[in-house]
Amino acid sequence: MSFKLGKISDFITPLFIIIFLFQFFLIMGFFGYAYYMDSSKSCIECHGSKEKMEEFGYPQFYVTLEEVRKQSGHKTVQCRDCHLGNGRANDKEKAHEGMLRPIFVEENAAPLYRNKVYGEDEKSVNKLQPIGENLLFELLPKKQENLEIVLHPKIRNVLWHDRDPQTFNFDPKIAEKTCGKRGCHTEELKQFKGTIMGTNFRQRTMRTWLEPYGPHNCGPSFADLPPKEVLESADFDFTNTEKIRQQINIPFSNEQAIAKQRLCNVCHAGCLDCHYAPSKEKGSHGFIKVPDSYSCMGRGRGNSVCHAGSGHSRRGETYIGKFYSIPQGRKADIHFTKGIHCVECHQTGKKGMGDMQRKATCGDCHVEIEKAHDKSIHKNLHCTACHVQQASGYQITIWGKGYIGDRENPFKKYSLYYGFQKPLILMKDQKGKWFPVKIFPHSVGNIKHHVSPTSIKFRWEKGETKDMYAIIGTFDGLPSSNKHLLWLQIEEVSHPLGKARDCKSCHSRRQVAISTWQYEDNQGAEPFKGGYKIIADERGLRLTDFWYTEIKPLAGFEISDFASWIYLTDKWFVVGDFSIKVDGIKYRQYEKKYWENLRKLQKIEKKYRDSPNIFKNIKNILIHNPDEKIPY
């Protein structure tokens, strides 16, 4: 069959024209409708009218588009760019269909939306703005009681709009429609999805109580997705749930696993956790380009989100201090008092947005001090070994039977043994340098099989973190919940940096730290106090001299559920040499030299009265390396 080459007009038949026009108008109609619907017209007409918002009963939600753009710093943003919904609908319900909104988390780990939280007479507190004097809780929902504003009794957390409302995980699919949509922060979202923070890689690596790197204060990843190089979704996954069931001797349902996983997911960050910053000055639509320290600590949403959870509670650190510490009232890190925020030291890595670096180098600022330190007798110590003196937060953690809200769960975390541990024990990192750690006992009940004790192990051998653990073993013979798996959690403590500790706290025959605490959980028992001693020497690492006041269990609870350690006070021992070797003669020589240098500094201080920075530099060098020769 031959093909005859002819004019284009030979192929343009009436049928061809009809098909072409039909396809053209179909495509144009599709894109035209999408463009038409991508509007915020009805949002602006309602929320931009004081009269309408008062008529609807929500005068506090009156805001103009101009105000939103000014508050947020997004000069061309439309309501639907962030909130979705139907910006063309005139009916309230249709307009709000599919709209993103904050998620309030109940005590039973269930999601609750705003209209179920506030009554009609609570307009003054029904808004996303800081309320109250306690900065740690200023963005959590409040209620009015007897003319006072108090924390809402049913709500434990509030999450922002980029979370999945069922799992509470950051949802990249929501972000692709909002923050990361075309023309906005597309590249930043792409970067974030491939970072440790974005993928929640470390938490998702913990499959069971024992795998892959031992038990952890945070527990395993109960029902979360497996770790991936790039975040793809925000779903649940019950692979780990089944593995955990194989390790325990009591039932553990998918629903119980979901409740635990939701509370884990609350802590981990998405776009808005870092960049959404409502304030009294900016309003409810405030954003910041570079996260400040308040963002890192959850910005007033309690002590179980962002680094307020892991930092204040588990590691026992504080950076901001005062309200942002557990117990509240601790002094801030010296760097925060100088106006330095977290991201100025923990900078962005090679992967881009969200690739925050754990390691911070003091020498970037303290150049001369680091040079002196690197040549000194203390060169095998990290700066924190001397300049971080104590840790607070959890002092004991017990996983046992209890409740998540009003629902039974075999893995209630009894961790509110709040107190202090000081002076901190020093241990060696993967490279042999000494650094300060918080050491505290853990137990989880109802373990099926025997688990042997271990030596102290790093969770990440290549140095990604310095955190360690030691399994003490499994024990039974307790009144209930046997067997109990015991371990020591050993956490690096990096803040608050301040004045150096006393020399004798290290240069003695053995290291001794004291932990004192008060039990403050609303389950298990009425408040009671206690403490223990941590000893590290050439014989090993051990916890001893446990003490506690009278324990009055609440109805329905046994001591084995929340304080199994009471029956196991003689078990906390790890063999090894944890002593700091001290040469008594050399120590006295350097102590003498140190005081001689201080006297010299007092003599020359007047000489540098007009050059205080030069004197400060000389002082810092001599204190960090007494052998340094400086002309006077």
pLDDT tens-digit map of 79-135: 999 999 999 898 999 999 999 999 999 999 999 888 888 888 888 899 889 999 999
pLDDT band with cut points at 50, 70 and 90 for residue 454: very high
Considering the domain architecture, whether residues 479 and 422 belong to the same structural domain is answered as yes
DSSP 52: H
pLDDT at 312 over 60: yes
Considering the domain architecture, whether residues 431 and 515 belong to the same structural domain is answered as yes
Residue 530: Cβ-neighbour burial (10 angstroms; 0-12, 13-18, 19+): buried
Neighbours of 298 (CB within 10 A): 27
Give tens-digit pLDDT for 400-437: 999 999 999 999 999 999 999 999 999 999 999 999 99
The answer to whether 252 touches 242, Cβ cutoff 8 Å, is no
Q: Quick check: is 81 in a domain?
A: yes
Give tens-digit pLDDT for 503-551: 888 888 899 999 999 999 999 999 999 999 999 999 999 999 999 999 9
Q: Quick check: is 483 in a domain?
A: yes
Q: Quick check: is 336 in a domain?
A: no
Instruction: Tell me which of 96, 111, 127 is where a domain ends.
Output: 96
Neighbours of 183 (CB within 10 A): 7
Instruction: Tell me which of 96, 113, 138 is where a domain ends.
Output: 96
Q: Which domain holds residue 487?
A: 384-575
Mean pLDDT of 233-259: 97
The answer to whether 237 touches 222, Cβ cutoff 8 Å, is no
pLDDT at 42 over 70: yes
Considering the domain architecture, whether residues 411 and 508 belong to the same structural domain is answered as yes
Considering the domain architecture, whether residues 555 and 615 belong to the same structural domain is answered as no
pLDDT attached to residue 148:
86
Nearest to 241 by CA among 214, 227, 260: 260
pLDDT at 1 over 80: no
Considering the domain architecture, whether residues 480 and 600 belong to the same structural domain is answered as no
pLDDT band with cut points at 50, 70 and 90 for residue 19: confident
Considering the domain architecture, whether residues 467 and 590 belong to the same structural domain is answered as no
Spatial CB neighbours of 240, under 8 Å, sequence gap ≥ 6? 207, 208, 220, 221, 222, 223, 224
Instruction: Tell me which of 53, 69, 96 is where a domain ends.
Output: 96
CA dist 458 → 29, 428, 492, 613 (Å): 61, 11, 11, 41
C-alpha 166/C-alpha 113 separation (Å) is 12
Considering the domain architecture, whether residues 593 and 569 belong to the same structural domain is answered as no
pLDDT at 33 over 80: no
Q: Quick check: is 549 in a domain?
A: yes
Residue 127: Cβ-neighbour burial (10 angstroms; 0-12, 13-18, 19+): middle
C-alpha 318/C-alpha 308 separation (Å) is 8
pLDDT attached to residue 583:
87
DSSP 34: H
pLDDT at 632 over 70: no
Mean pLDDT of 547-569: 98
pLDDT at 31 over 60: no
Residues of the chain with pLDDT > 90: what percent?
73
Considering the domain architecture, whether residues 398 and 545 belong to the same structural domain is answered as yes
Mean pLDDT of 7-12: 65
In angstroms, how far is CA 137 from the centroid of its own chain?
A: 15
Q: Quick check: is 417 in a domain?
A: yes
Considering the domain architecture, whether residues 447 and 555 belong to the same structural domain is answered as yes
pLDDT attached to residue 25:
67
Please name the helix (run of DSSP H) or strand (run of DSSP E) that holds residue 43, with its range, or none: helix 41-47
Considering the domain architecture, whether residues 487 and 545 belong to the same structural domain is answered as yes
Residue in this structure with the two tokens 């808005």, named with its chain if needed = 272
Structure tokens at 419: 């107190």
Question: Of how many residues is the chain composed?
Answer: 632
Considering the domain architecture, whether residues 509 and 597 belong to the same structural domain is answered as no
pLDDT at 631 over 70: no
Q: Quick check: is 327 in a domain?
A: no
pLDDT band with cut points at 50, 70 and 90 for residue 28: low
pLDDT attached to residue 135:
94
pLDDT attached to residue 5:
54
The tally of domains found in the chain comes to 3
pLDDT band with cut points at 50, 70 and 90 for residue 353: confident
Q: Quick check: is 190 in a domain?
A: no
Q: Quick check: is 407 in a domain?
A: yes
pLDDT band with cut points at 50, 70 and 90 for residue 625: very high
> What single letter denotes the amino acid at residue 488?
L
pLDDT band with cut points at 50, 70 and 90 for residue 11: low
Considering the domain architecture, whether residues 388 and 412 belong to the same structural domain is answered as yes
Nearest to 349 by CA among 191, 459, 203: 191
